[in-house]
Structure 1
Amino acid sequence: MAKSVLRALFLLPLTVHRSLKVFENWIQKYGKVFGYYQGEIPFIVLTDVDMIRDCFIKETNTFHDRPTLVLNVEPYISSLLGVEGKAWKKTRRVLNPIFTAAKIKMMSQIMTGCSEEMLGIVDRKFDGGEAVDMLQIAQGLSLDVISKCALAWKVNCQTNTTDPLLRAMHSVVDDAENTLIQYAIALPILRKIAEWIYPYASYYKITTKILDNVREVIEYRRSGQGSRTTDMLQLMLDAQAGKEAKATTSSKGDMLIEDRHLLSNSFLFLAAGFDTTALTLAFGAFLLAKYPEEQERVFNEIVSVFSEPDTELTYDGIQKLKRLDMLIAETMRLYPPVVLFVSRCCRQDTTIMGQFIPAGVNVLVPTWHVHHDPNLWPDPYRFDPERFADGRNTHHPAAYLPFGLGPRGCIGKRFALLEIKMAMCKIIRKYTFIPCDGTPEDVELVVNNIMISPKGGLKVRLQRR
């Protein structure tokens, strides 16, 4: 027994990196519904889209919460990722207005400015004859956008690759595959040890520094100093202040959203808005370099809406770019940034389509495999934006889930899509993406626990139009 446990521990990090292949083998061997254990935690894997729909959309009272976090630590347990039940509902209710079309339209001016700075960096690389690593470019842009829109932070992460916040967020993403966390999954006894060690870990110091900076911003805003800034943090503060008086007279006497929620969700916005958006932008550029005919279709649509090279990009104009929408949708089908995260915990014994699911079992949807199922997507590895054309976009509602599914789907979906489209428009109006010696024919993917990443980046060359 001891020998088998040790073997499992040594193999676990290897399994994490090969998780796409592992799940592919399991699906081929066991079918669309099967179970496995992460340590002692039972999971049922679903690739049957009707069952996915029932669990994530129809039976949300039973499958409401995400699986319990491996480590019970801040800033995660007070964020939308970690809160459960009524606490999640009230937190989401406060945060939803931040991401309305009207609020995102206000933030589009910030996105335009950040995209203009990105274009300046691209210009300098073009003038120097350099190939461009679109992932590196996109990561700097995405962190610039989210730090300004969420916290009004003036950071230098686009022009300075050693910017402290950029390095910190790289550490946050890279630590998703922390070996101690993986071992804590395998042996629950290690979780308490990991939680005890956590305050001494470098990762804790990084997150604490970010949270301390957010805390300073909150105190500064409450002091009334400086001019008012309409960003995500301020909107959360407004929501808190608007409900505080009412809440203190209630039987429970608690605010709708507490300071720990402000801190945790500010951190979540930074972390979630960093790599996921950047990956889609980088993969989109890579695909356009490989398929020049599609790139010309997208370019022609952009110039039909924004006719002059110096025409300012507007929120309303961006919404008219349907071909660009199709490109991004197909990019996220082929390369969904988050591949092993769409999951829920079953809170009571239930039966879904004849399958008994006991309370306490987690259901997991392997997004990558659903997106590449030939029964759902004919010739699934072929790049074909026409799949999402008006009139042809008839896929099953559970067959496409780059932003998750159901009430707990990604709250920042519209924000992320607008940022990607703004950046794409800025570059494509001026440059053509073309392959270079460093452009891979087939991307080698690395999986860190839940996300994919292209090994070695995604390099393309630019040609001025």
Structure 2
Amino acid sequence: MIALIFTIFSILVALYFAYYFAAANNAQYWKRRGIPGPQSKNKFLHFTEDLLNPSYNSCYLLRDWTKKYGPVYGIMEGWRKVLVIADYKLANEVLVKKFENFHARKLGALSPDSDKQKGLHVFNANGSRWKRLRTIITPCFSVNSLKLMFNTVNDSCKVMLSLMDKEFEADRAFNIHTHFHELTMDVISRIAMGQKGTKQFNNPNVEVAKAIFQRKGIQWLDDLAHMFPYFGSFFFKCLIILAKLTYFPVKQMLDDITAAVKERKKERAKGINSNNENELVDFIDLFIDAEAENIKDDAYNKSNVKVEKKMTTEEIVEQCFLFLLAGFDTTANTLAISTWLLAKHPDVQQQLIDEIDDICTTDEITYEQINELRLCDAVMKEALRLYPIATFVVGRQCVEPTKLGDVQLERGVYVMCDILTMHYDKKIWGENADEFYPERFYDFTVEQQMAYYPFGGGPRVCVGMRLAYMEQKMALARILKKYKFVACPETEDKLKLTGCFVLNPDSVTVKLEKR
């Protein structure tokens, strides 16, 4: 027995030292290639925890490193090799010009196998599978589809305004970010989950979604996946097993969406179809009806892969889950930050109010009027330039050996873009790059377009971008037709931004003033 214990102990010690020396050798990957970059004392996780630190978002960490090491440097994220670039020309190469070499996203280490997973959403999919899903989904965000969703967005915004009326009547400062979270979850629950009617401040999905973004309960598995990336899909399967044994927010949300999709399919099988001109339309109907036939999209010009026309039930569930999360936090955060900026810049706010009054002349705001709000559009874009909400979406994986600038990249190496540095580059944006100046987007230069990535870039740019802008502009138009945002003593002098994935203001405190 003692001999057996000693043998097992010896094997474990040998494995530990073998892994340690292999990890130490792997840590020198960039140094051996003459690429500068920070060195971590943690030979196993390296900068994994730093990059996923909710108290200091990775966009700020990358900016700090860029100042020290220059526009091109290498870092280690667990076992994974990551090249960081802060050069807009190189970013354009990765996202657009050499898309065929970088078509895969930089996903979290704790992710399913994109080739084998039965149900997969378009964000995680790669290669021909991504092409097929995006081909099917793209028409769901066409102008006609957005017009079908417009009434849902408009109705939720009216409810939001009625709730803000109570804040005004109480004559108090309040955290408007909370209202925007309720609005965006209300809209996306109605659009993505088939929710009937509004549930603002009575929607359990708000807290569920927040828990998902905070990585609650999965940090240790995530760390293991970073240390042993080749076993990432195995650790993901472990996560699925744990989810069945205990409370897990992702599983709860997926179960709810699955039930909604199956119920909708049953209704349609009985001849009950909510998808007509007089009904509010949601993603479930659009995804069930969608086909991948005769779709023209630049994202697929480089491939002739034949695709299946319809999505499976599992795929519909995954797409709804993706857009529920993507449409919740990012949209609410952008609205909150825009509100804070407008409260701090009353001159710009007054110009925006004048524009809204000139275009939206009655209480019934139309889709066409929303699209005419040029300054409102510029305010949204400037807010996202100053505070890029989701910089992680720009990460890519090299799928074929290629040269990027002076660096030869091997297959499997990841690339991250330092978006914050590019968004504040005075050579690109002018000497007032640090200032809130929405009008800069009236004359959007080629260089600025190549350096601006709030929704990602290239063929994998966020497919829901126009829906996000529509919702944000409608919310601001509804509020500013009735109120002004006023900075008060409780208003934050500087926003406190946290979040390991999405840049999230802790609070945005304002008062409303009747116009």
TM-score (norm 2): 0.81
- 2:228 pairs, out of 179, 184, 188, with 188
* Aligned equivalent of 2:249, options 203, 213, 227: 203
How far apart, CA to CA, are the structure 2 residues paired with 1:210 and 1:412? 22
1:117 aligns with 2:117: no
Distance 1:76 1:464, change over 3 A: farther
User: Does 1:136 find its partner at 2:178?
Assistant: yes
CA deviation after TM superposition for structure 1 residue 220, in Å? 2.8
The amino acid of 2:423's aligned partner reads H
Deviation at residue 242 of structure 1 after TM alignment? 8.6
CA contact (8 A) 2:45 2:79 kept: no
Letter in 2 for 1:144: D
Give the one of 201, 205, 219 matched to 1:165: 205
Shift of 1:348: 1.2
- Counterpart residue number, 1:381: 434
Instruction: Tell me which amino acid in the other structure corresponds to 2:49.
Output: P
Which residue, out of 345, 351, 363, partners 1:291?
345
Aligned to 1:447: 499
Q: Structure 1 CA distance, aligned partners of 2:255 and 2:134?
A: 26
Inter-CA distance 210–367: structure 2 relative to 1 (3 Å threshold): farther
1:212 equivalent in alignment to 2:254: no
1:392-403 to 2 correspondence within 5 Å? 393=445, 395-403=447-455
Whether 1:459 and 2:493 are equivalent positions in the alignment is no
Note the alpha carbon deviations across 1:97-151, whole angstroms, 9 max, x for none: 0001111022111111111000000001111123231211111111111122233
Contact 2:396 2:415 in 1 (8 A): yes
Letter paired with 1:237? I
1:394 deviation in Å? 5.1
Aligned to 1:41: 80
Between stretches 369-378 and 4-13, larger displacement belongs to 4-13
Comparing 183-192 and 142-151, the one that deviates more: 183-192
Q: Is the 8 A contact 2:254 2:317 kept in 1?
A: no
**1:344·1:362 contact (CA, 8 Å) conserved in 2?**
yes
What is the CA-CA distance between 1:180 and the residue it aligns to? 2.4
Alignment pair present for 1:233 and 2:284 = yes
User: Are the counterparts in 2 of residues 63 and 345 from structure 1 also a CA contact under 8 Å?
Assistant: yes
Classify the secondary structure of the residue corresponding to 1:337.
Answer: coil
Q: Structure 2 vs 1, CA of residues 314 and 40 (structure 1 numbering), >3 Å: closer, same or farther?
A: same
Cα deviation, residue 92, structure 1: 0.4
| Residue 300 of structure 2 corresponds to residue 264 of structure 1 | no
**Inter-partner Cα distance in structure 2 for 1:31 and 1:73:** 34
Relative to structure 1, the CA distance from residue 204 to residue 272 in structure 2 (aligned partners, 3 Å threshold; closer, same or farther) is: closer
Counterparts of 1:70-89 in structure 2, within 5 Å, are: 70-73=109-112, 78-89=120-131
2:52 corresponds to 1:16? yes
Partner of residue 224, structure 1: 270
Report the Cα distance in structure 1 between the residues aligned to 2:63 and 2:216, rounded to whole angstroms. 22
Q: Verify the 8 A CA contact 2:156 2:183 in the aligned structure 1.
A: yes
Say whether 1:343 aligns with 2:343: no
Q: Give me the CA root mean square deviation.
A: 2.8
- Return the alpha-carbon distance in structure 1 between the equivalents of residues 100 and 293 of structure 2: 29
For 2:487 and 2:367, the matched residues in 1 are separated by 30
Q: How far apart in 2 are the matches of 1:253 and 1:131?
A: 53
Instruction: Kindly name which structure, 1 or 2, has the bigger radius of gyration based on alpha carbons.
Output: 2
Distance 1:217 1:26, change over 3 A: same
After superposition, what is the alpha-carbon deviation per residue over 1:311-344, rounded to whole angstroms, capped at 9, x for unaligned?
3100111111111111111011111110233111
Contact 1:184/1:194, CA 8 A, preserved across alignment = no
CA gap 1:27/1:323 in 2 versus in 1, 3 angstroms: same
For residue 313 of structure 1, what is the amino acid of its counterpart?
I
**Alpha-carbon shift at residue 436 of structure 1 (Å):** 2.1
Letter in 1 for 2:200: Q
The 8 Å contact of residues 176 and 509 in structure 2, kept in 1 or not, is answered as: yes
The CA deviation string for residues 195-237 of structure 1, in whole angstroms up to 9 with x for no partner, is 3144324234423433333343343344335442332211111
Q: CA deviation at 1:156?
A: 4.6
- Name the structure 2 match of 1:246: none
In the alignment of these two chains, the number of paired residues is: 451
Q: Report the alpha carbon displacement of residue 8 of structure 1 after superposing the two structures with TM.
A: 6.1
The structure 1 residue matched to 2:214, chosen from 153, 169, 174, is: 174
Cα-to-partner distance string for 1:428-457 (whole Å, 9 max, x where unaligned): 010010112321111121131x211112x1
Q: Tell me, yes or no, if the aligned pair for 2:389 and 2:503 is still in contact at 8 Å.
A: yes
* Equivalent in the alignment of 1:248: none
Q: Which amino acid aligns with 2:110?
A: L
Q: Distance in 2 between matches of 1:257 and 1:94?
A: 8
Q: Gaps spanning 5+ residues in structure 2: where? A: 1-16, 25-39, 276-280, 295-304
Answer yes or no: is the 8 Å Cα contact 1:338–1:367 preserved in 2.
no
- Structure 2 SS opposite 1:396: helix
Partners of 1:50 and 1:254 in 2: how far apart? 36
Q: 1:375 to 1:158 in 2, by over 3 A?
A: same
More divergent stretch after superposition (115-124 vs 33-42): 33-42
| Stretch deviating more after TM superposition (228-237 or 283-292) | 228-237
- Cα distance in 1 for residues equivalent to 2:41 and 2:497: 28
Counterpart of 1:147, as a letter, is S
- Tell me the CA shift for residue 193 of structure 1: 4.1
Shift in alpha-carbon separation, 1:285–1:176, aligned structure 2, 3 A: farther
What is the letter of the counterpart of residue 511 of structure 2? R
- 1:277 counterpart = 2:323: no
State how far apart, in whole Å, the 1-side matches of 2:417 and 2:165 are.
Answer: 41
Distance 1:67 1:333 in 2: 22
The one-letter amino acid paired with 2:166 is: R
CA-CA distance at 1:67 after TM superposition? 2.6
TM-score calculated relative to the size of structure 1: 0.89
Higher mean displacement: 35-44 or 223-232: 223-232
Q: How much does 1:381 deviate?
A: 2.3
